[in-house]
Amino acid sequence: METEFAAQTGANAPGTIRLRGHHFLCLLTYKGLGYTPAFVKNLSRIAQAINDGTPVMLAQGPDDICNGLSLEDRLRCGHDCEKESVYRRDAQAIAATAPLLDLNMNAPFILTANAVKTLRAAFASGQTRAGCVGCPWVQTCDNIAADGFAGTILLPADTE
Ligand code: SF4
Protein backbone atom coordinates (compact mmCIF):
# COMPACT_ATOMS: atom_id res chain seq x y z
CA MET A 1 0.00 0.00 0.00
CA GLU A 2 2.77 2.45 0.87
CA THR A 3 4.51 2.09 -2.47
CA GLU A 4 1.17 2.44 -4.23
CA PHE A 5 0.51 5.84 -2.64
CA ALA A 6 4.02 7.09 -3.25
CA ALA A 7 3.81 6.14 -6.90
CA GLN A 8 0.35 7.54 -7.52
CA THR A 9 0.61 10.82 -5.65
CA GLY A 10 4.19 11.88 -6.04
CA ALA A 11 4.19 12.57 -2.30
CA ASN A 12 7.46 13.93 -1.01
CA ALA A 13 7.24 11.50 1.90
CA PRO A 14 6.98 8.04 0.34
CA GLY A 15 4.02 5.99 1.53
CA THR A 16 2.28 9.00 3.07
CA ILE A 17 -1.24 10.21 2.26
CA ARG A 18 -1.31 13.96 1.67
CA LEU A 19 -4.42 15.70 3.04
CA ARG A 20 -5.34 19.35 2.68
CA GLY A 21 -6.76 21.07 5.76
CA HIS A 22 -10.49 20.67 5.35
CA HIS A 23 -10.15 17.01 4.38
CA PHE A 24 -9.23 16.26 8.00
CA LEU A 25 -12.90 17.15 8.61
CA CYS A 26 -14.43 15.48 5.55
CA LEU A 27 -12.87 12.13 6.38
CA LEU A 28 -14.71 12.14 9.73
CA THR A 29 -18.14 12.09 8.08
CA TYR A 30 -17.28 10.14 4.94
CA LYS A 31 -19.65 7.24 4.40
CA GLY A 32 -19.26 6.61 0.67
CA LEU A 33 -20.83 9.77 -0.75
CA GLY A 34 -19.00 12.07 -3.18
CA TYR A 35 -18.88 13.97 -6.44
CA THR A 36 -18.31 11.06 -8.87
CA PRO A 37 -17.87 7.26 -8.69
CA ALA A 38 -14.12 7.67 -9.30
CA PHE A 39 -13.87 10.22 -6.49
CA VAL A 40 -15.73 7.90 -4.12
CA LYS A 41 -13.54 4.94 -5.09
CA ASN A 42 -10.37 6.93 -4.43
CA LEU A 43 -11.62 8.37 -1.14
CA SER A 44 -12.75 4.96 0.09
CA ARG A 45 -9.31 3.59 -0.75
CA ILE A 46 -7.67 6.43 1.20
CA ALA A 47 -9.93 5.99 4.24
CA GLN A 48 -9.18 2.28 4.26
CA ALA A 49 -5.43 2.91 3.98
CA ILE A 50 -5.61 5.24 7.00
CA ASN A 51 -7.54 2.55 8.86
CA ASP A 52 -4.70 0.17 8.00
CA GLY A 53 -2.12 2.53 9.50
CA THR A 54 -0.78 4.44 6.47
CA PRO A 55 0.60 7.79 7.72
CA VAL A 56 -0.93 11.11 6.68
CA MET A 57 0.46 14.64 6.54
CA LEU A 58 -0.83 18.12 5.84
CA ALA A 59 -0.78 19.25 2.21
CA GLN A 60 -1.11 22.79 0.90
CA GLY A 61 -3.71 22.83 -1.86
CA PRO A 62 -4.93 19.86 -3.92
CA ASP A 63 -4.11 16.56 -2.25
CA ASP A 64 -4.52 12.82 -2.67
CA ILE A 65 -8.32 13.11 -2.25
CA CYS A 66 -8.54 15.86 -4.89
CA ASN A 67 -6.57 13.59 -7.20
CA GLY A 68 -9.65 11.35 -7.37
CA LEU A 69 -11.28 13.94 -9.64
CA SER A 70 -10.07 14.06 -13.24
CA LEU A 71 -10.28 17.35 -15.12
CA GLU A 72 -13.30 15.95 -16.95
CA ASP A 73 -14.94 15.10 -13.61
CA ARG A 74 -14.29 18.60 -12.30
CA LEU A 75 -15.96 20.18 -15.29
CA ARG A 76 -18.92 17.82 -15.01
CA CYS A 77 -19.60 18.37 -11.30
CA GLY A 78 -18.46 22.02 -11.28
CA HIS A 79 -16.01 21.50 -8.43
CA ASP A 80 -12.75 23.45 -8.47
CA CYS A 81 -10.10 22.30 -5.95
CA GLU A 82 -8.04 25.45 -6.64
CA LYS A 83 -10.70 27.97 -5.66
CA GLU A 84 -9.58 30.59 -3.16
CA SER A 85 -12.58 29.78 -0.97
CA VAL A 86 -11.37 26.16 -0.68
CA TYR A 87 -7.93 27.35 0.48
CA ARG A 88 -9.71 29.52 3.07
CA ARG A 89 -11.64 26.44 4.19
CA ASP A 90 -8.34 24.59 4.60
CA ALA A 91 -6.88 27.36 6.76
CA GLN A 92 -9.95 27.54 8.98
CA ALA A 93 -10.14 23.78 9.39
CA ILE A 94 -6.47 23.50 10.34
CA ALA A 95 -6.60 26.44 12.76
CA ALA A 96 -9.29 24.52 14.67
CA THR A 97 -7.92 21.01 14.21
CA ALA A 98 -4.17 21.31 14.76
CA PRO A 99 -4.40 22.28 18.46
CA LEU A 100 -6.55 19.20 19.08
CA LEU A 101 -4.00 16.85 17.53
CA ASP A 102 -1.06 18.61 19.17
CA LEU A 103 1.56 17.32 16.74
CA ASN A 104 3.53 18.48 13.72
CA MET A 105 1.05 17.97 10.88
CA ASN A 106 3.68 18.93 8.29
CA ALA A 107 5.49 15.65 8.92
CA PRO A 108 3.97 12.17 8.48
CA PHE A 109 1.88 10.94 11.41
CA ILE A 110 -0.57 8.15 12.15
CA LEU A 111 -4.19 9.19 12.54
CA THR A 112 -5.06 7.02 15.51
CA ALA A 113 -8.47 5.90 16.71
CA ASN A 114 -8.13 8.23 19.70
CA ALA A 115 -7.29 11.18 17.45
CA VAL A 116 -10.33 10.45 15.27
CA LYS A 117 -12.50 10.19 18.36
CA THR A 118 -11.25 13.59 19.54
CA LEU A 119 -11.79 15.15 16.12
CA ARG A 120 -15.31 13.71 15.85
CA ALA A 121 -16.27 15.04 19.29
CA ALA A 122 -15.02 18.51 18.32
CA PHE A 123 -16.81 18.28 14.96
CA ALA A 124 -20.12 17.28 16.59
CA SER A 125 -19.87 20.16 19.07
CA GLY A 126 -19.24 22.64 16.25
CA GLN A 127 -15.76 23.51 17.49
CA THR A 128 -14.09 22.78 14.13
CA ARG A 129 -16.92 23.64 11.73
CA ALA A 130 -15.62 27.06 10.60
CA GLY A 131 -13.92 25.14 7.81
CA CYS A 132 -17.33 23.89 6.59
CA VAL A 133 -18.94 27.28 6.03
CA GLY A 134 -20.21 27.54 2.46
CA CYS A 135 -19.69 23.86 1.67
CA PRO A 136 -22.60 22.27 -0.21
CA TRP A 137 -22.37 19.17 2.00
CA VAL A 138 -22.97 20.96 5.32
CA GLN A 139 -26.47 19.58 5.88
CA THR A 140 -25.35 16.04 5.04
CA CYS A 141 -22.42 16.26 7.44
CA ASP A 142 -24.60 17.83 10.14
CA ASN A 143 -26.94 14.86 9.86
CA ILE A 144 -24.10 12.33 9.98
CA ALA A 145 -22.62 13.96 13.09
CA ALA A 146 -26.05 14.13 14.73
CA ASP A 147 -26.41 10.42 14.00
CA GLY A 148 -23.20 9.67 15.93
CA PHE A 149 -21.15 9.18 12.72
CA ALA A 150 -22.97 5.88 12.11
CA GLY A 151 -21.82 4.12 8.96
CA THR A 152 -18.71 6.23 8.46
CA ILE A 153 -15.70 4.54 6.98
CA LEU A 154 -12.77 6.08 8.86
CA LEU A 155 -12.20 3.74 11.79
CA PRO A 156 -8.48 3.31 12.36
CA ALA A 157 -7.30 0.49 14.55
CA ASP A 158 -6.14 1.87 17.89
CA THR A 159 -2.36 1.98 17.73
CA GLU A 160 -1.84 3.85 20.99
S1 SF4 B 1 -19.43 20.12 5.44
FE2 SF4 B 1 -18.06 20.02 3.66
S3 SF4 B 1 -16.02 20.67 4.45
FE4 SF4 B 1 -17.32 20.13 6.22
S5 SF4 B 1 -16.84 17.98 6.61
FE6 SF4 B 1 -18.64 18.02 5.30
S7 SF4 B 1 -17.85 17.82 3.22
FE8 SF4 B 1 -16.12 18.41 4.52
Per-residue pLDDT of the chain (160 residues; tens, 9 = 90+): 434 554 444 445 669 999 999 999 999 999 999 988 889 999 999 999 999 999 999 999 999 999 888 888 888 777 888 889 999 999 999 999 999 998 899 999 999 999 999 999 999 999 999 999 989 999 999 999 999 999 999 999 875 5
- Which atom of ligand 1 lies closest to the CA of 142? 1
d(CA 59, CA 76): 25
In the prediction, which pLDDT does 12 show?
A: 57
* Helix or strand run (H / E) with residue 145: helix 138-146
- Whole-angstrom Cα distance, residue 132 to residue 114? 22
Residue 34: name the closest of 108, 129, 123, 140 by CA. 140
Burial of 130 (0-12, 13-18, 19+ CB in 10 A): middle
For the chain, give the mean pLDDT: 89
Predicted pLDDT at 4: 56
Residue 22 near ligand 1, beta carbon < 6 Å: yes
Best residue for ligand 1 mutational test, from 24, 26, 35, 140 (most atoms within 8 Å of Cβ):
26
User: Is the CB of residue 38 less than 8 Å from the CB of residue 70?
Assistant: yes
Helix 138-146 and helix 113-125: axis angle, to 10°?
110
User: Would you say the CB of residue 96 lies under 6 angstroms from ligand 1?
Assistant: no
Q: What is the pLDDT of residue 76?
A: 74
